[in-house]
Amino acid sequence: MQFGIYFPPIGHFERRSEKSEERNLILLEYADKLGFDYAWFAEDFLDNSQSASQYMNLISVATDLTQNIKIGFGIARPSNQKVLSLANQIATLDSITQERIAFGIGPGFLPPDSPQIGFDNVEFDSLVSCIEMAKSKFIDRALEQQHNRLSSNHRGQKNVYLMPAKIFVASQSSPIAAVLAGRFGLGMLTLGAVTTNGFNNLPYIWELYEKNARKNEHICDRARWSLTLPMHLAETNIDARRDVEFGLKQWVKELQENTTFVIPKESNSVDQIIETGLGVIGTHVDATRKIRELQQQSGGFGCLLLTAHNWVDLEKSKQSLKIFQGYIINAV
């Protein structure tokens, strides 16, 4: 199994401020030194006022600060024009950084029971178009970089091996990600695996992925399925509970106001977060138990992404990553 860190578009006191971005980059650099495999940065949407260069600058800085960790950048509900520009630049940067870049596209934090599995017909078709364009750009770049190994007629094949590992379809727990990831032979990122609905739906999500992948003659590989999990670890449960007093209530409030995660209004205490399964607050023993639960419920997945948050201050966040690395990553 691989491990990573996921930086969501919400959950920060100073969203998109220099202070929050600096915190994320510090954690990124530290995660790289600890041996984490992936770091994902997410944007809830790209509107017309936001240029692709803003996000490319972030990715460039992230790659400069790190040595080995793979950098993923995900966008939700993008326009065709944004995807075309970003996919082209990301595919180029991927070749420069020795294939350390991944690209995510998805519907964002949509409820799983929305009409047309989260989209209306127009939005669904638009997302399909975006994925097709991104896939084409990555294949073009792969062919350009390895022309001596791949001939131009490979573009028409369904299973160009260089590309699927670079593109992921992400959603809270909506079936749309499974349908499209399977249809196009891409990776899958489930952001709401620890919510009640998301956890219960994990077997169904894989079933949909597998069905659509086989239908389109793609290989079904659980290693390309990533789940996210909010977590804070300390040496003792008492310490972990004390640490999260720093920002847990604010985190819950932002989730309730900005996403479709179904979170009880009273879920602002440590006990309620743990009981509802929304996160791990405790020791490495609690972390191991939760990971096993996710493995058993899902049938297996390839990468666990620890959701970055402001439950605790920066130093406590780094300590938590260190504990995770010592007891979980090293054990694997």
- Residue 329 is classified by DSSP as I
Task: Give me the sign of the Cα torsion angle 165, 169, 173, 174.
Answer: negative
pLDDT of residue 262: 56
Name the nearest CA neighbour of 140 among 169, 177, 166, 168: 166
Contact at 8 Å (CB) between 36 and 69? yes
pLDDT mean for each 10 residues of the chain (332 residues): 88 53 93 97 59 72 94 73 71 79 74 42 69 73 55 46 68 84 92 88 95 94 95 97 89 69 62 85 97 97 95 96 96 78
In terms of C-beta density within 10 A (0-12 exposed, 13-18 middle, 19 or more buried), how is residue 242 classed? middle
In terms of C-beta density within 10 A (0-12 exposed, 13-18 middle, 19 or more buried), how is residue 116 classed? exposed
Helix H, strand E, coil C: the string for 210-274 is HHHHHHCCCCCCHHHEEEEEEEEECCCHHHHHHHHHHCHHHHHHHHHHHCCCCCCCCCCCHHHHH
DSSP characters over 298-326: HS--SEEEEEP-SSS-HHHHHHHHHHHII
pLDDT of residue 259: 60
pLDDT of residue 101: 87
pLDDT of residue 324: 98
pLDDT of residue 98: 78
Angle between helices 196-215 and 175-184 (to 10 degrees): 20
Residue range 2-329, CATH number: 3.20.20.30
Structure tokens at 91: 């595919």
Structure tokens at 208: 């949909």
CA pair distance 180, 171, nearest whole angstrom? 11
Domain locations in the chain?
Answer: 2-329
pLDDT of residue 310: 87
Would you tell me how many other CB atoms lie within 10 Å of the CB of residue 65?
14
Burial code of 76-106, b = ≥16 C-beta within 10 A, e = fewer?
A: bbbeeebbbbbbbbbbbbbeebeebbbbbbb
pLDDT of residue 79: 60
Q: Which residues face 151 on adjacent strands?
A: none
Q: How many residues does the structure list for the chain?
A: 332
Q: DSSP alpha helices (H): ranges in 35-103?
A: 52-65, 80-96
